Amino acid sequence: MKKLLSILLTLAMLASLTAPAFADEPDYRTGTPWLCSDLEGNVTGDTETNLKDDYVLAVNKDKILALEIPEGYPTAGTTMDVQLKLSDDIKNMFLGDAPEEHDAKLAYDLFKLMMDWDSRNALGAAPLKEQVDEVEALDSLDALSAYFNEVPPLDQLAGLWSSGSTADFTDSTRYVLSVGNCGLLLGDSAEYRELTDYGAIKKEAISELAQKMLVKVGYAEDEALKKIENCFAFEAMVAPAIHTSEEQQKPDYISRITNYYTLDETREAQGKLPILENLAACGFPEADVYMVTNPEFLTKINELYTEENFPLIKDYLLVHGVVGAADSLDRECYEWNYACNNAISGATGMLDDETVFSSSVAGTLAWPVARLYTETYLKQEDKDRISGMIDEILDAYHGIINEADFLSDETRAKAIEKLDVIDKRVLYPDSWEKYDCAELNFASAEEGGTLWDAYRAIGAYYLAESVEDYSKPVDKEEWGMTPQTVNCFYDWQQNNITILGAFAQGGIYNSEMSDEELLGKLGVVIGHEISHGFDSSGAQFDKDGNMADWWTEEDYAAFLARNEKMEAYYNAIHPWEGQDLYGSIMTGEACADMAGMKVALRVAAEKEDFDYDAFFRAYADIWLAKDTLQMCYRRINDVHPMPYLRINCTLQQFDEFLDFYGITEGDNMYLAPADRVNIW
């Protein structure tokens, strides 16, 4: 359930740097069983193609050669084109006169504050320096505890843990207060055990940004370097108690983080840290039950919370604080942050401010922008057509479950029950009442407001909203993502699929598409999202969205065996020699890809004179991509298979594909029935 828009928007905030060289750089054209055709430069005019050996390369070669990664981004392709269309659409909404309606005006006011470089430059890093000076003045562990306990949460520079309200996994009708671990500059705790090439790129880029920001707020360069060293030293100490990215993406992670503690047990687990006090300062009441997502972290952080480690802890807060604030300050800080993100993603160039800031507003004030976007660009007739398509695919999905030979009648009946109550959300909400921001206000640029103060007001508003919602039942009719998001998703806890308006655009969906193209693109995606209800994660949740065991013991064992076979299949694939994949994190998304194709083929079989060549080529086009090397590294560590694998690995599971193109044993695209890994 990755949020593709937020990832792409983060990657968009980039500046021009030369891509770094890797030590002992491998030959990236040594992939097995297929060339990694996603990686920029791997496909050339001389690259030989054979549809029966590498389908994606054969049908997409000319498109790959024609692709150019756009300035400011790390990838190109069909989905990226849709993202670029969204960016232009959002930007154009902010280039006219500001509306009078309250919520829409908030979005315009925030955009103008972002664009007001005169005020931002005049303010400089002054508000950040106030927070930095407050932390720098702390001289003992007791003073640090008092800081966490007494300073309002929104005024704190950074934290040593995470906490807040979330929907309860075992009772999806209620919220529960959760406590989790701190963040790490390198993201993945495994990087502190063994630094990868990609981790080294991130560390260098973030360190450079942190050094510049620390000097900006008054430290000498040698002081800044020492603080960065101390920050990484502290992170290395706490990292063994934080789940790695691979662990976090495995299906069993859900059960691993579902640890219920009473109030007394939470107070004991927090030890010397004022976690409960901090939640109270946010406005949350004491609760009978808390979800402690990582008990090992609380044990470790209490072990480290000593006077001896106090300098490291303080520098951890300082470094995280200045890095996190960089893009909210003046132009100099903004460009430093841009360069940091660029180095990490491999993108080049700078996007214009209007594009960056309009997209930022669309993420920060998501629902005010959602209504504007919907009213400007989305159509009821598209909503109706896609809704009908979802119904057709949901109906066909009964055949997938009924023909699953590893299910008993008891489990099959439960699966059908879950399928029959999957809710659908198409393009945009039918009503906007749930999404107004009537209580949110901040001063505009014309009124003398600043971007820093606007962000604080928005943060306070969302916190107050979270506190208010905590005391109510979960509203299962409320949308979890906004229409201006290039994504689709399935929600385990609400048992619904959502096809968002910004995704159903351009090369993914338009009203002129043939049945074959529509089914090969959006149709397979719809089937993919339905399938998440029955993948390695979705299988842990029942029809009501509660984490519950609805399988017989024998059926679940057979299901897990199928997942293990799929894991081994992806582990045997290498984008280039020496580079492994992580099959253990891909079973959910790969399962959904393959089951989505399977149900689309069931729909296709009912259509007269169906053009299978057009259908399969449409599927290959939706995942067309050209990536920087850094983007490939991101994808290798993602739960989704790399784009070229989403095409080839999925298609070789099906006789319809193999038979249509005459692919047989000895061809590289052929996969024997006994070796196929389609779980459903």
What is the rounded average pLDDT for all residues in the chain? Answer: 95
Question: Is residue 354 included in any domain, yes or no?
Answer: no
| Same-domain check for residues 279 and 392 | no
- Given pLDDT bands bounded at 50, 70 and 90, which one contains residue 6? very low
Tens digit of each residue's pLDDT (9 = 90 or more) over 462-493: 999 999 999 999 999 999 999 999 999 999 99
| Same-domain check for residues 390 and 242 | no
Question: Is residue 12 included in any domain, yes or no?
Answer: no
Question: Is residue 207 included in any domain, yes or no?
Answer: yes
Question: Is residue 395 included in any domain, yes or no?
Answer: yes
CATH number, residue 506 = 3.40.390.10
Note the pTM of the prediction, 2 decimals: 0.92
DSSP output for 475-537: -TTS-SS-TT-S-EEEETTTTEEEEETTTSSTTT--TT--HHHHIIIIIHHHHHHHHGGGSTT
Distance of CA 241 to the CA centre of its chain: 23
- Given pLDDT bands bounded at 50, 70 and 90, which one contains residue 529? very high
| Same-domain check for residues 406 and 260 | no
What pLDDT does residue 451 have?
98
- For residue 271, is it left (φ>0), alpha (ψ between -120 and 50) or beta? left
Last residue of a domain, one of 280, 304, 328: 328
Is 223's pLDDT higher than 50?
Answer: yes
The position carrying tokens 């705790």 is 189
Question: Is residue 491 included in any domain, yes or no?
Answer: yes
Question: Is residue 4 included in any domain, yes or no?
Answer: no
Is 16's pLDDT higher than 70?
Answer: no
Is 19's pLDDT higher than 50?
Answer: no
CATH number, residue 171 = 1.10.1380.10
The position carrying tokens 């260098």 is 204
Tens digit of each residue's pLDDT (9 = 90 or more) over 569-597: 999 999 999 999 999 999 999 999 999 99
Is 454's pLDDT higher than 90?
Answer: yes
Tens digit of each residue's pLDDT (9 = 90 or more) over 413-431: 999 999 999 999 999 999 9
Is 296's pLDDT higher than 50?
Answer: yes
Last residue of a domain, one of 305, 328, 351: 328
Q: How many domains does the chain have?
A: 2
| Same-domain check for residues 304 and 391 | no
Burial (CB < 10 A; 0-12, 13-18, 19+), residue 589, is: buried
261: containing domain: 125-328
| Same-domain check for residues 600 and 652 | yes
Rounded average pLDDT over 75-86: 98
Tens digit of each residue's pLDDT (9 = 90 or more) over 247-288: 998 989 999 999 999 999 999 999 999 999 999 999 999 999
Last residue of a domain, one of 302, 328, 354: 328
| Same-domain check for residues 270 and 380 | no
Is 192's pLDDT higher than 90?
Answer: yes
Q: Of the given ranges (73-77, 96-100, 667-671), which has the lowest mean pLDDT?
A: 96-100
What pLDDT does residue 25 have?
85
Task: Return the bridge partners of 547, or none.
Answer: 541
- Given pLDDT bands bounded at 50, 70 and 90, which one contains residue 244? very high
| Same-domain check for residues 306 and 410 | no
Report the alpha-carbon distance of residue 647 to residue 593 in Å, rounded.
9
Name which of 365, 496, 503, 357 is nearest 435 in CA terms: 365
Question: Is residue 397 included in any domain, yes or no?
Answer: yes
| Same-domain check for residues 302 and 412 | no
Rounded average pLDDT over 315-331: 98
Report the alpha-carbon distance of residue 108 to residue 377 in Å, rounded.
18
| Same-domain check for residues 304 and 382 | no
Percent with pLDDT over 90 in the chain: 95
Tens digit of each residue's pLDDT (9 = 90 or more) over 123-173: 999 999 999 999 999 999 999 999 998 998 889 999 999 999 999 999 999
What pLDDT does residue 9 have?
33
- Given pLDDT bands bounded at 50, 70 and 90, which one contains residue 24? confident
C-alpha Rg value of the chain to the nearest Å: 25
- Given pLDDT bands bounded at 50, 70 and 90, which one contains residue 1? very low
- Given pLDDT bands bounded at 50, 70 and 90, which one contains residue 8? very low
Name which of 509, 356, 367 is nearest 438 in CA terms: 367
Rounded average pLDDT over 82-96: 96
What b-and-e string marks burial along 410-444, b requiring 16 or more CB atoms within 10 Å of the CB? ebbebbeebbeebebbbbbbeeeeebebeebebeb
Question: Is residue 247 included in any domain, yes or no?
Answer: yes
What pLDDT does residue 96 have?
84
Residues contacting residue 259 through CB under 8 Å, at least 6 positions apart: 291, 292, 293, 295
Report the alpha-carbon distance of residue 446 to residue 427 in Å, rounded.
35
| Same-domain check for residues 228 and 277 | yes
Residues contacting residue 291 through CB under 8 Å, at least 6 positions apart: 166, 168, 169, 176, 177, 178, 179, 257, 258, 259, 260, 261
441, 653, 670 from 575: Cα distances, Å: 50, 19, 19
Distance of CA 159 to the CA centre of its chain: 22
3-state secondary structure (DSSP) of residue 291: strand
| Same-domain check for residues 317 and 450 | no
- Given pLDDT bands bounded at 50, 70 and 90, which one contains residue 58? very high
| Same-domain check for residues 153 and 281 | yes
Is 13's pLDDT higher than 80?
Answer: no
